[in-house]
Amino acid sequence: MSQPRIKRCVGKYEVGRTIGEGTFAKVKFARNSETGEPVALKILDKEKVLKHKMAEQIKREIATMKLIRHPNVVRLYEVIGSKTKIFIVLEFVTGGEPFDKIVNHGRMREDEARRYFQQLINAVDYCHSRGVYHRDLKPENLLLDAYDNLKVSDFGLSALSQQVREDGLLHTTCGTPNYAAPEVLNDRGYDGATADLWSCGVILFVLLAGYLPFDDFNLMNLYKKISVAEFTCPPWLSFSAMKLITRILDPNPMTRITIPEILQDEWFKKDYKPPVFEEKVDTNLDDVEAVFKDSEEHHVTEKREEQPTTMNAFELISMSKGLNLGNLFDAEQGFKRETRFTSKCPANEIIHKIEEAAKPLGFDMRLENVKAGRKGNLNVATECGWISLWGNDEFHTI
Ligand code: 3AM
């Protein structure tokens, strides 16, 4: 028989299954119980965030992200905090990841890759123009919506991934430097804009080639290859695609192609559609402030509730003495009937409904053993004059 479902709520969000483990957080599916809207909840450990004195930077980044509205950037709706956790409420993106397509079907046609790349550049350009840099662009951060549009996630949340670096988790969860620019690996300080562009170049290469431009089992060798941009384009690449990739994967950030130059590139320009987005964004940042204040009044509660299980007909029959088909054949037991049902409604609502239905029929209702509380039992006894036998058209008096 099905077990009672545990319902977990964070504020107004009903939390569901785990979607995945990101680089710095667990991601869960959730639903806004007021609007029914699905969301993705990124869950962070508050203690870790605060321990590393990253709060100010993370707060700034989250606040900036709330101001970003772009069709190719995963929307950050709000941030909420409980006593121990920080929940970043994000737009739920349903179409999977473009890199799953490569894993399942191999490299993409140039037209398809170009469309994703154009959307990626649109997102990156928009965020850069607002002073937000990704600093960790890689396949896991690219999602697809139901209309096959690219959405970049974790934009501007670089403080969070740096946090993981300090925790040492980078080596296990986001340990791959394959997408990082040479100047990022040198770690001598870098410009976020040009570094992001390099990663876009690696992403474009993977979309078109089906494999990484820089790869080596040995990390030192990999670093060397990246630092001098040692890669070879596959023979099936068009000359103009190859030219663009080579201009992006320039190891010198000072001479690397810029976004305005990419927008003028022949290969890039084909079928380009400029993005349409909301210019005016009116956003309240009180929630961001509240999460990082340590007073209890700002915390949401995390609740776990046992949900009534929805039962199928067989489960109902097996639970219920009254509905045991044996009763129909065992004369000794008489016609005592018991019907069980489950409902998500509160007890008083159920009682009210039963009374409403029973009164006009002249039934005498008695309520027994009503225990208050979430899991209290409720027995309703009624003296009734009529009963309908299951599967029989006639009514029998008892
Ligand atoms: O573990 P996988 O790769 O299946 O796609 C993201 C990744 O899935 C998903 O959560 C996992 C860890 O990052 N994810 C992240 N943000 C998401 C969002 N806003 C998301 N899925 C849907 N909507």
3-state SS record for 375-386: CCCCEEEEECCE
Residue 284 is predicted with a pLDDT of: 74
Q: How far is the CA of 19 from the centre of ligand 1 (A)?
A: 6
| pLDDT for 395 beyond 50 | no
3-state secondary structure (DSSP) of residue 79: strand
Q: Tell me the DSSP string of 5-16.
A: EEEEEETTEEEE
d(CA 157, CA 172): 19
Reported as a single tens digit per residue, the pLDDT across 188-227 is: 778 888 999 999 999 999 999 999 999 999 999 999 999 9
**Element (H or E) spanning 243, and its range?**
helix 239-248
Tokens, residue 57: 């930077």
Q: State what percent of residues in the chain have pLDDT above 70.
A: 68
- The phi and psi torsions of 343 (rounded to 5 degrees) equal -150, 150
**Contact 144 CB / ligand 1 (< 6 Å):** no
Q: Active-site residues: which are they?
A: 136
**Ligand 1 atom nearest to CA at 143:** 5
Q: Confirm or reject: Cβ of 229 under 6 Å from ligand 1.
A: no
Residues in the chain: 398
Break the chain down into helix, strand, coil percent, rounded to 5. 40, 20, 45
Q: Which residue spans within 187-312 are E strands per DSSP?
A: 302-307
Give the pLDDT score at 296: 63
CATH 3.40.50.300 fits 6-92, yes or no: no
pLDDT band at 170 (very low <50, low <70, confident <90, very high): very low
Is 207 close to ligand 1, i.e. is its CB under 6 Å away? Answer: no
CA of 26 from ligand 1 middle (Å) equals 9
Please give the order of strands across the beta sheet that includes 5-10: 76-81, 85-91, 38-45, 26-32, 13-21, 5-10, 302-307
- Which span out of 15-29, 53-67, 154-168, 292-306 was modeled with the highest average pLDDT? 15-29
Question: Cα separation of 50 and 203, whole Å?
Answer: 33
Q: Is the CB of 63 under 6 A from ligand 1?
A: no
Residue from 13, 17, 19, 92 whose mutation best tests the ligand 1 pocket (most atoms within 8 A of CB): 19
Please provide the distance, in angstroms rounded to a whole number, between the alpha carbons at the two ends of the chain.
33
Which amino acid residue places its CA nearest to atom 15 of ligand 1? 27
The pLDDT of residue 121 is 97
DSSP-derived 3-state class of residue 224: helix
Instruction: For residue 290, name the pLDDT band (cuts at 50, 70, 90).
Output: confident
Q: Is 4 in the pocket of ligand 1 (CB under 6 A)?
A: no
Which ligand 1 atom sits closest to the C-alpha of 27? 10
pLDDT digit string (tens) for 135-151? 889 888 899 999 999 99
* pLDDT score recorded for residue 179: 94
- pLDDT tens string 327-357: 444 444 444 444 556 666 766 777 777 777 7
Note whether 117 and 203 are within 8 A (CB): yes
Query: Of residues 163 and 40, which shows the higher confidence score?
Result: 40
The answer, yes or no, to whether any atom of ligand 1 lies below 6 A from the CB of 96, is no
Q: Which amino acids are annotated as binding site for ATP, given as ranges?
A: 42
92 lines ligand 1 (CB under 6 A): yes
Mean pLDDT of the region 108-121: 97
Query: Please, what CATH class does the domain formed by 98-273 belong to?
Result: mainly alpha
Residue written as token pair 């079907």: 105
Residue nearest to atom 21 of ligand 1 (CA): 93
| 27 ligand 1 Cβ < 6 A | yes
Q: Which atom of ligand 1 lies closest to the CA of 94? A: 22
Tell me the CA–centroid distance for residue 331 and ligand 1, in Å. Answer: 60
Res. 259: pLDDT tops 60: yes
Residues in a beta bridge with 41 = 28, 89
What is the distance in A from the centroid of ligand 1 to the CA of 35? 22
Which of 31, 88, 91, 143 to mutate for ligand 1's pocket (most ligand atoms within 8 Å of CB)?
143
Please say if the pLDDT value at position 14 is more than 80: yes
How far does the centroid of ligand 1 lie from the alpha carbon of residue 93, in Å? 8
CA-to-CA separations, 284 to 56, 78, 219, 235, in angstroms, rounded: 18, 9, 44, 51
* 366 Cβ neighbours under 8 A, 6+ residues apart: 380, 381, 382, 383
Confidence of residue 165 (pLDDT cuts 50, 70, 90): very low
Q: Whose CA is nearest to atom 10 of ligand 1?
A: 20
- Among protein residues, the one with the nearest Cα to ligand 1's atom 8 is 20
26 Cβ contact list (under 8 Å, min separation 6): 18, 20, 42, 43
Q: Please say if the pLDDT value at position 379 is more than 60.
A: no
Rounded Cα distance, 152 and 141, in Å: 6
What does the pLDDT read at residue 66? 83
Question: pLDDT value at position 173?
Answer: 33
Cβ-based neighbour number of residue 269 at 10 Å: 12
Mutation probe of ligand 1 site: the residue of 153, 160, 161 with most atoms within 8 A of C-beta: 153
Give the mean model confidence (pLDDT) for residues 169-190.
68
Map out the domains of the chain as residue ranges: 6-92, 98-273, 313-397
Which residue's C-alpha comes closest to atom 2 of ligand 1? 20
- Per DSSP, the three-state class of 151 is strand
The predicted pLDDT at position 254 comes to 94
Distance CA 16, CA 13 (A): 9
190 lines ligand 1 (CB under 6 A): no
- CA 271/CA 287 separation, integer angstroms: 41
Element (H, E) at 117: helix 110-129
Nearest to 209 by CA among 232, 177, 240, 178: 232
Average pLDDT over residues 54-64: 77
In this structure, are residues 327 and 342 in contact, taking their beta carbons and an 8 Å threshold?
Answer: no
Calculate the average pLDDT of the chain: 78
- In the prediction, which pLDDT does 298 show? 63
* In the predicted structure, residue 107 carries a pLDDT above the cut 70: yes
Whole-angstrom distance, CA of residue 391 vs CA of residue 327: 14
